[in-house]
Amino acid sequence: MRGRGDTSGSDCTELLPRGYRVGDWEVTEPIASGGWATVYAGRPADRSGDGSAVEPAEVALKFLPTSGLAPRQARKVAETARREVELDRRAGHPRLIRLLDSFVVSDPDRDFMDGAIVLVMERAARSLRDLFDAGVAEADVPRLFAEICEGLAHLHGSGWVHGDLKPENILLMADGALKLSDFGLATELTGTEGTHGYAPPMGTLDYLPPERWQAPLGEHGVEVRPSADIWALGIMVHEVFASAASPFPGATPVARGAAVQEYADGRARLRIDGVVPPFWRALAIDCLAPTHADRAAHSAESLLARITARPPQPRPVRRPRGTHALQVTAAVCAVAATVWSHAAGEATSGAGDEPLGRLKVFNAEDYCQDRTDRHPQCSLGLAIDPLQPYTIDNVVPTRVWHGDVLAVDCRLPQGVPIIDESAASSTQWYRVRLPAGSSGSSAWLPAVRTTDHPRVPDCPRTDPVP
Element (H, E) at 87: helix 71-91
| DSSP label at residue 312 | P
Residues 334 and 256 sit within 8 Å (Cβ to Cβ):
no
Does residue 267 share a domain with residue 359? no
Tally the domains of the chain. Answer: 3
Residues 107 and 430: their CA atoms lie apart, in Å, by: 66
pLDDT at position 300 is 95
**Is 144 a domain residue?**
yes
**Is 281 a domain residue?**
yes
The verdict on whether omega for the bond into residue 56 sits within 30 degrees of 0, i.e. cis, is yes
Does residue 350 share a domain with residue 300? no
Does residue 323 share a domain with residue 349? no
Does residue 131 share a domain with residue 118? no
Does residue 400 share a domain with residue 267? no
Which amino acid does the sequence have at 349?
A: S
Dihedral, CA of residue 237, residue 243, residue 248 and residue 254, to nearest 10: 110
pLDDT at position 114 is 79
Residues 103 and 142 sit within 8 Å (Cβ to Cβ):
no
Show the low-confidence residues of the chain (pLDDT under 50). Answer: 2, 7-13, 49, 51-54, 315-352
Residues 60 and 27: their CA atoms lie apart, in Å, by: 9
- Strand 25-33 and strand 21-22: pairing? antiparallel
CATH of the domain at 49: 3.30.200.20
Does residue 154 share a domain with residue 200? yes
Does residue 177 share a domain with residue 282? yes
Does residue 108 share a domain with residue 48? yes
CA 272, distance to chain mean position in Å, is 13
The parent domain of residue 392 ranges over 343-449
Measured CA to CA in angstroms, residue 301 lies from 91, 98, 228, 294, 309 at distances of 16, 22, 15, 16, 12
Considering all CA atoms of the chain, what is the largest pairwise distance in Å, rounded to the nearest integer? 92
Residues 333 and 419 sit within 8 Å (Cβ to Cβ):
yes
Tell me how many degrees the CA angle 109-74-98 measures, rounded to the nearest 5: 90
Residues paired with residue 118 on neighbouring β-strands, in sequence order: 63, 103
Does residue 306 share a domain with residue 351? no
Does residue 305 share a domain with residue 193? yes
Sequence-separated (6 or more) residues with CB below 8 Å from residue 110 = none
DSSP-H helix ranges across 323-370: 324-338, 366-369
Residues 303 and 461: their CA atoms lie apart, in Å, by: 53
